[in-house]
Amino acid sequence: MAPRTRNLAAPKGPGFSAPSVGPGVGSSTATAVHIRSLLPSLQPSMRQVADQVLSDTSATASLTVTELAIASGVSEATVIRFCKAIGFAGYPQLRLALAAENGRAQGADRVDRDLESDIAPGDDLAKVVEKIAFADARAVEETGAQLDIVMLERVVEALVRAQRVDLYGVGASAYVALDFQHKLHRIGRVAFAWSDTHVALTSAALLRPGDVAIGISHTGTTTDTIDALAEARAHGATTVALTNFPRSPIAHAAEHVLTTAARETTFRSGATASRLAQLTVVDCLFVGVAQRTYGQTLAALDATRAAVGARHTSTPRRR
């Protein structure tokens, strides 16, 4: 079985978590994004520290380890364990990272801080539109900023060499898998998107070394997708997980992991943000493959465009 090719302890890691943590001043720093991505994997006591840090990263940067421990309701030793669990050598390194990132973010408009907050029951529709648009745009921006380019390159190369690509996803992730299948099929790549668990498992059982299987799951805990990916890996296929949480079960089931940065909210605008973040990664993979197969891609696009050309009207029809 091929070794993992990522460093889970890297302090620049990606992701947002579920809505239990509300954003505070300066909460969109790279370190905050990283902490959110690791929340599901933290022990309850360390999660208390994470919640306190994420409530206001700017204020945390000015606290001593004792002050942060008291504010979090835990011991100083737990704070130190938390720092190490998220990839820092100790609390001084975490404070320095937060201070540096907040310093760079001081010029941000205060309206951003308001739009970062969760949708409230009393928000009018105009404010709801603003907050959803902001969350979606932020998810795309932060996904691009934290994307591991080395990992992306490895997955692109595997896709270029693959004779066949299987894509697994259920629920909202199924739409992302279908979008990627359509993109790859349009440029002449053999790709299949499966959302039915039984069909996904039977397809995965037919994969061979050199084929690629990609499992898409925002939470990384969807057993249907995890099982299909594990089946594909058992038969020698190169496996890739696309998830918001780098220490989630699907990440452990795959050889390569690509991460998004999207936050769930009370009214599920985060569901849209997570899909947009996933589609951002899908587009990066698609363009990477298209670049490396440029001649074949152009010929395929011309042929498919010509095939559907007659299905479009040249002028508006009269009523």
Q: Mind giving me the DSSP string for 182-205?
A: HHHHHTT--EEEE-SHHHHHHHHT
Which pLDDT score is estimated for 114? 60
The Cα–Cα gap between 257 and 150 comes to 11
Q: Identify the residue with better confidence: 126 or 114.
A: 126
Average pLDDT over residues 273-296: 95
**C-alpha dihedral over 182, 192, 188, 206, to 10 degrees?**
170
**Beta strands across the sheet bearing 212-216:** 191-194, 165-168, 212-216, 238-243, 256-259
pLDDT, tens digit, 9 for 90 and up, residues 154-163: 999 999 999 9
CA distance 5 to 254: 10
Percent of the chain with pLDDT over 90: 63
- How are the residues of the chain apportioned to helix, strand and coil, as percentages rounded to the nearest 5? 55, 10, 35
Residue 266 pLDDT grade (very low, low, confident, very high; cuts 50, 70, 90): low
Nearest Cα neighbor of 192 from 154, 153, 157, 237 is 237
> In 200-215, which positions are buried (b, 16+ CB within 10 angstroms) versus exposed (e)?
bbebbeebeeebbbbb
Residue 299 banded pLDDT, cuts 50, 70, 90: very high
Q: Mind listing the domains of the chain with CATH numbers?
A: 30-117 (1.10.10.10), 149-307 (3.40.50.10490)
Q: What is the pTM of this model?
A: 0.78
Give phi and psi for 205, each to the nearest 5: -70, -15
